[in-house]
Amino acid sequence: MSLDFKPGAFNDFFREETFRGDFTYRNSPHNIRRFPFPFDRDDYMYAVNMEPHVPGRIGSVFEKTFDVDEHYVAEMIDRAKVLADDPLRCQSLPHMTLAGWDLLELIMESKARDYPEWFSLEKNGNRWRWINRPLGIDHSFTFLDEATLPYGPMEYITRQTQGDFTLQDEREGTLWMDAGIATSQADWSVDFDIGMSWHEWHAPVPLAHEMGIFDRALKFLLKLQHGAPVRRFNWTMTVNPLLDTAPETYPKWGPTKTSLTQENLGQKQHLRVELQTLYRLPRSNAIAFDIRCYLASFDELMTVPKWARRLHRVVRDIHPDLATYKGFIRNQPAMVEWLSKYDDGKPTSPGWWPEEA
Amino acid sequence: MTLTPVEPTIKSRPVYAPLEPRPGHLHLIIADGEGADAVTDMLAKTSDAGQLLASAHLMYCPGPNGTDLTERLRALGALQFFRAPTIPALLPRLKRVLVDAHMGSQFYLAGTEGLCGQAETAIMQTGFPASAIQKEHRGSTVRRVQCVHCKGITENVATDPFQCSHCGLSLFVRDHYSRRLAAFQGVNIDAEDPGDVPPSVVRFK
Ligand code: HEM
C-alpha cells in the first residue's frame, strides 16, 4: 500500500512548477491579488494577533477552511520528495494517533464540503471512501483503523494538504508539541522540537517572552473550543521560492543568502507568509496547528502599489532583533535600497487588502 | 562545591535547584562526577538519612572530567548501589529499574547536564510526572549537542564552535535544548559563508 499520486486532472488550474533546482514557481496575476499580505499598517511588531477563523472575503485565502490554490499539486510533490530524503520531518509520539485521526476527519470533511469538484468523502459507518481528484487518489479505509492506511493518519492526510502541521497535547496546564510534519518550515526543526512544551519550543523567539505575548497567547489557546478555530499571520524572508528552509539543510540553502544583487533581488527575494490556523480537536482534545506557507517574489508584490510602499517601510523600520531572528539582517540594506524605488512616500490605507491602494 | 550556576538564557534551557529529601516509597538517586556531593548534601538535610537510604537505589558513574567519588557513595550504605564506568553504561540498568518503579517514587539526579538530561528523558518516557524529578547540576559544564544537520550527538562539547564528531561540520552551540533528545542544538556556523569559521573558544569546562 502506498500513496502514489496520479495528477493530471485540472491541469488548467494547478501549476506544474518546482520549489528547488530551477525554481520555476511563480504566482499567476490572479494569485498575486489574493496573496495574504500580512501587514495591515506601515510598521510591524509582535502582538497576540489572533482572530476567529471564519469564512472571509470571496476569493481570498480566508474563504475556505483549508485554502487550496494553484500550487497545490506541485507542493504535494515537493513534500513527498522532502519526506523521502528525510523521514524525520514527520513524527508522532505514540499517544497522538487519535489526534491524527481527528485531523484527518477535519481536513477531509472541510475539503469535501468546500471543494466538491476536487474532493469527496463518502461514509458508511466507519467505512470511508476518500476521493482526491487533483492527486488521483480514490481510497477506501476504515476510520480509526491504522492498518487500512499506508501511513499514520496525520501523515496520510498531510501528504495531501498544503501547510505544515503540528498536534499539541494538553497536559499540566500547557501544550506539548507531540506530533508534527514540516517540509515548508521557516527554519525550525520538528525532530528537535517534538516533545517540547509551549514555552520551550518558543524559547528562541526574541522580545515576545518579555512582552508577555507567549503567556497571553497560551492562556487564550487553552480556552480554544471545538468548532471555533482561530487564525493569525507570521512572516519572514526567503531567497528563492524554497518551501523547505529547514535547519537540517541549512548548509545547502544558507549560501543563497549571499547571491542577491540589485539586479536579481526582485526575482529572487520572496516574502514568506504563514497563515496559521488553530483547531481544537473533538476526540483527543488536542490542538491542531496549521502553518500554511505562501511565497511571493518582490517583483510580484510590487504589482500592488499599496503593498510596495508598505513593504519598504516595514523592512526599513523593523526592530533589528526581529530582522536578525528572521535571518535577513545581512540583506536588509540591499532590500531597503531596492524597495525604496517603489515607495513614493504617499500614505497607505489601513488594512492588508490590495485594492484600497 | 555547590550548584553549578547557569546563566538565565532562554526558556528551553533546563533549570536546576539543590536536591531536597522528599518522602517516597523508592528513592532513585542517579549521579555522576561532582553530583556525588549534591547527594551527600541532600542527605545531610534530613534527620533520617538512614530511612531514606534503606529504600534507595543509587547509581553512579565518574564525571567527564575524571572526578570519581565512587567510594564516598558506596560507603553511604544504600539498599542498592551500582557503579557504572560511563553514562551510556548506566542507562540500561536505569531503564530496567524504571519498569518496576511505582508512582510515589522519588527521583534525584545530580551532576553534569548530560547525566541529568538523559536520566530525565528515560524517567519521563515511563510516564512519571516532571514533578517527581529533581535535578541539581554540579561539576563539569560540558554539553551534549545534537547536530541538527546529520542528527549525530557529540558528547562532552567544551568549545564553541566545535566540529561535529559525526559529519565534521563546524557547529555553533545554541542554548536551545530538547528534553526528548537530552541535547542542545548545534548549527553549522559557516553555512552562509563556507570556510569562514571563527576560532573555537572554550565555553564549557
Ligand atoms: C500551538 C501552536 C503553535 C506552535 C506549534 C508554534 C510553533 C512555533 C515555532 C516552532 C516557532 C519557531 C521557533 C524557533 O525559532 O525555533 C514559532 C515562532 C513564533 N511563534 Fe509560535 N507556535 C504556535 C502558536 C503561536 C501563537 C498562538 C502565537 C501568538 C502570539 C505564536 C507566536 C509566535 C511568534 C511571534 C514567533 C516568532 C516568529 C517570527 O518572528 O518569525 N505562536 N512558533
Out of A195, A200, A255, the one facing B11 most closely (by C-beta) is A200
Out of A88, A199, A247, the one facing B187 most closely (by C-beta) is A247
Best residue for ligand 1 mutational test, from A196, A202, A223 (most atoms within 8 Å of Cβ): A202
- The beta strands (E) that lie in A100-212 are given as 119-124, 127-132, 137-142, 164-171, 174-181
What is the model's pLDDT at position A1? 62
Contacts of A207 (CB under 8 A, 6+ apart): A46, A319, A321, A322
**Lowest-pLDDT choice from A111-115, A221-225, B177-181:** B177-181
A353, part of any domain: no
CB contact under 8 A, A203 and B176: yes
Distance CA(A122)–CA(A110), nearest Å, equals 13
The model's confidence at residue A6, banded by pLDDT at 50, 70 and 90, is confident
Distance CA(A197)–CA(A168), nearest Å, equals 9
Residue owning the nearest CA to atom 25 of ligand 1: A217
A323, part of any domain: no
Q: Which domains does chain B have, with CATH numbers?
A: 27-137 (3.40.50.80), 143-202 (no CATH)
Out of A172, A199, A251, the one facing B149 most closely (by C-beta) is A251
Instruction: Tell me the chain B residues in contact with residue A203 when contact means C-beta distances shorter than 8 Å.
Output: 10-13, 175-176
Model pTM above 0.90: yes
**Size of chain A in residues:** 357
What is the model's pLDDT at position A356? 53
Out of A192, A209, A250, the one facing B188 most closely (by C-beta) is A250
What is the model's pLDDT at position B104? 87
What is the model's pLDDT at position B130? 81
Ligand 1 is surrounded, with C-beta below 6 A, by A 46, 48, 166, 168, 175, 177, 188, 193, 201-202, 204-205, 208, 213, 217, 221, 232, 234, 236, 287, 289, 322, 325-326
Q: Are A244 and A19 in contact (CB under 8 A)?
A: yes
What is the model's pLDDT at position B46? 92
Query: What is the CA angle A78-A79-A82, rounded to 5?
Result: 90
Q: For residue A133, what are the domain limits? A: 8-14+47-266+273-296
Number of H helices, E strands in chain B: 5, 12
A317, part of any domain: no
A67, part of any domain: yes
**Lowest-pLDDT choice from A38-52, A311-325, B122-136:** B122-136
A196, part of any domain: yes
What is the model's pLDDT at position B129? 82
Q: Taking CB atoms and an 8 Å cut-off, how many pairs form between chains A and B?
A: 69
Alpha helices by DSSP H, listed for A129-231, are 153-158, 190-193, 198-201, 213-222
At A180 the three-state DSSP class reads strand
Q: Which residue of B lies nearest to A193 if distances are taken between CA atoms?
A: B178
A236, part of any domain: yes
CB contact under 8 A, B180 and A195: yes
A258, part of any domain: yes
What is the model's pLDDT at position A156? 98
Average pLDDT for residues A266-291, to the nearest whole number?
98
Q: Give A 227-266 residues with CB within 8 A of chain B.
A: 247-251, 254-255, 257-258
Q: Is A173 on the interface with B (CB under 8 A)?
A: no
What is the model's pLDDT at position A64? 97
Looking at chain A, the whole-number percentage of residues with pLDDT higher than 90 is 94
Is residue A127 part of the annotated active site? The answer reads no
Instruction: Tell me the chain B residues in contact with residue A251 when contact means C-beta distances shorter than 8 Å.
Output: 149, 169, 188, 191, 194
The model's confidence at residue A300, banded by pLDDT at 50, 70 and 90, is very high
A306, part of any domain: no
CA distance B74 to chain A (A): 36
Cα A247 to ligand 1 centre (Å) = 16
Best residue for ligand 1 mutational test, from A46, A51, A205 (most atoms within 8 Å of Cβ): A205
Radius of gyration of chain B (CA): 18
Provide the domain count of chain A: 1
Pairing of strands A90-92, B143-147: unpaired
Please give the single-letter amino acid code of residue A24: T
The ipTM assigned to this model is: 0.93
Can you give the pLDDT of all 205 residues of chain B as single tens digits?
A: 577 777 768 888 888 999 999 999 999 999 999 999 999 999 999 999 999 999 999 999 999 999 999 999 999 999 999 999 999 999 999 999 999 998 889 999 999 999 999 999 999 889 888 889 999 999 999 999 999 999 999 999 999 999 999 999 999 999 999 989 999 999 999 999 999 999 999 999 9
CB contact under 8 A, B11 and A202: yes
The model's confidence at residue A312, banded by pLDDT at 50, 70 and 90, is very high
What is the model's pLDDT at position A357? 41
A153-206 pLDDT, tens digit each: 999 999 999 999 999 999 989 999 999 999 999 999 999 999 999 999 999 999
